[in-house]
Structure 1
Amino acid sequence: MNDMTSTFFDLIRHGEPAGGHKYRGHRDDPLSELGWQQMRDAIEDGERWDHILSSPLLRCREFASELSTQLDIPVTVAEGFKEICFGDWEGKTREQVEQEYGDHQANFWRDAENHPPPNAETIQDFHQRIGEAWQHWNEELAGQKVLLVCHGGVIRMVLGHVLGLTPSNAMAGFQIPFACRSQVRLDHTEFGTLSCLVKHG
């Protein structure tokens, strides 16, 4: 155990995008002025990381780039951490989806594996995609402190992998408000890697 090294991932959801609350998924809206302020307020003075990872979408990438420049820290756009695609629900508010699709929305949040939105990425495929990205960057940045700027769905799936939850339970199990932060510690030992959720919210 004396040879143990640890990797720390700080996960932060983007702030409010332009246009307010709606299903965005792969829609590439930038942050609103409030969203920028939420993100800047979420970073404490003196915080440092070895590397910043970001979703490719503007609501994450633009802030990650700004922070990288300010702190002189390398940033990498990680395609695998893109938000889930919500299919036909993208661009609609929850109220609009409820009006158009009835109980489908409530059923999705209760059991996403069996009630996906029309033409959406399945929660199973999303879970696998995030798992593969998580494993890759765990290995690539082992021993470092990393900031991951991403999305509510991405954070849910990461925490699901860390805690051993099903995709549906992970999707329904966490509140992830704008600019919410979580931290995961990965201890690399001679017996394998042990994951721990240090804090959430």
Structure 2
Amino acid sequence: MGTETTTWVDLIRHGEPEGGRRYRGHRDDPLSTTGWAQMRAAIGAEERWDAVLCSPLLRCRAFAEEVARQQGLPLHVEPQLKEIHFGDWEGFTPTELAQRDGERLAAFWADGERHPPPNGESLTEFHARVASAWQHWTDRLSGQRVLLVGHSGMIRMILASVLDLAPSRAMARLYIPYAGRSRVRLDDTEHGRLGCLLSHGLTP
């Protein structure tokens, strides 16, 4: 009989960036003062991990670096965990974009696999790259407790993989607040990997 290995991953979305709510995508805005407070409030002083994994974008990486430094942990920065590329929509607030391109925006949220942002990334492409990175790092960090600092869309794509959801459904129907946390348990058994969402959307 084979042995089982359990991996725990705590997913946390970055806090509020400077400039407030926007379709940022690959735009590299830092956390605001409020965003830093949200992130620090979301992590308990007694919590410990074995490794920290993050997107390279500053709104994720800066806090990941702080946690890794404070706990003396290895930090892994993965480019494939960037947010979806919103193309021509990057930098606009939701209100601005609804006024400028409301019909295409509605089509994206209804089915982002068929209606990607103009000059941006389709949900199919986005899900494929995030899922590939997720598989790579959960294999490499198997048996550990991992803190993953990322983006709302990125976390949705990971949960789509864990819960076997269509990317468009996960993107439109899973709410990920600033500094919101989810926990995933992965059990590698002789029958394959079993994934389970233990908690979702917790905020400070």
Sort the TM-score into its range (normalised by shorter chain). over 0.9
AA of the residue aligned to 2:9: F
Name the SS for the 1:103 alignment partner: helix
SS in structure 2 opposite 1:176?
coil
**Cα distance, 1:102 vs. partner?**
2.4
**Normalising by structure 1, what TM-score?**
0.98
Question: Which residue in the other structure is 1:4 paired with?
Answer: 4
Q: What TM-score, normalized to structure 2? A: 0.96
Other-structure match for 2:200: 200
Cα deviations by residue, 1:66-104 (Å, 9 ceiling, x for unpaired): 111111111111111111100000000111111111221
Which letter maps to 2:44? Answer: E
Q: Following TM superposition, by how much is the alpha carbon of 1:198 offset from its aligned partner in structure 2, in angstroms?
A: 0.7
Which residue of 1 is the match for residue 37 of structure 2? 37
Give the AA of the match of 1:155.
I
2:121 alignment partner in structure 1: 121
The aligned residue for residue 190 of structure 1 is 190
Q: Which of 102-111 and 187-196 deviates more?
A: 102-111
Distance 2:156 2:173 in 1: 8
- List per-residue Cα deviations over 1:146-180 (Å, max 9, x = no partner): 00000000000000000111110111120001000
Partner of 2:73: 73
Within 2, Cα distance between the matches of 1:92 and 1:155?
21
Q: Report percent identity of matched pairs.
A: 58
CA distance in 1, matches of 2:160, 2:186: 14
The answer to whether the aligner puts 1:15 opposite 2:35 as a matched pair is no
Q: Deviations over 1:18-54 (max 9, x none)?
A: 0000000000000000000000000012100000001
**Count of paired positions:** 201
Off by >3 Å, runs of 4+ in structure 1: none
Task: Describe the SS at the equivalent of 2:7.
Answer: strand
SS in 1 for 2:198: strand
Residue 96 of structure 2 corresponds to residue 96 of structure 1: yes
Distance in 2 (alpha carbons) for counterparts of 1:78 and 1:117: 23
Q: Give yes or no for the alignment of 1:180 onto 2:180.
A: yes
1:168: which partner in 2? 168
Structure 2: distance between partners of 1:173 and 1:133: 23
Tell me, which stretches of 5 or more residues in structure 1 are unaligned? none
Distance 1:172 1:98 in 2: 16
Assess if the C-alpha contact under 8 Å between 2:4 and 2:189 holds in 1. Answer: yes
**Deviation of 1:105 (Å):** 1.1
Aligned to 2:61: 61
Q: CA deviation at 1:2?
A: 6.6
Q: Matched residues in 1 for 2:52 and 2:15: separation? A: 17
| Counterpart residue type for residue 29 of structure 2 | D
Spell out the pairing of 1:116-155 with structure 2 (5 A cutoff): 116-155=116-155
Distance (Å, rounded) in 2 between the aligned partners of 1:132 and 1:173: 22
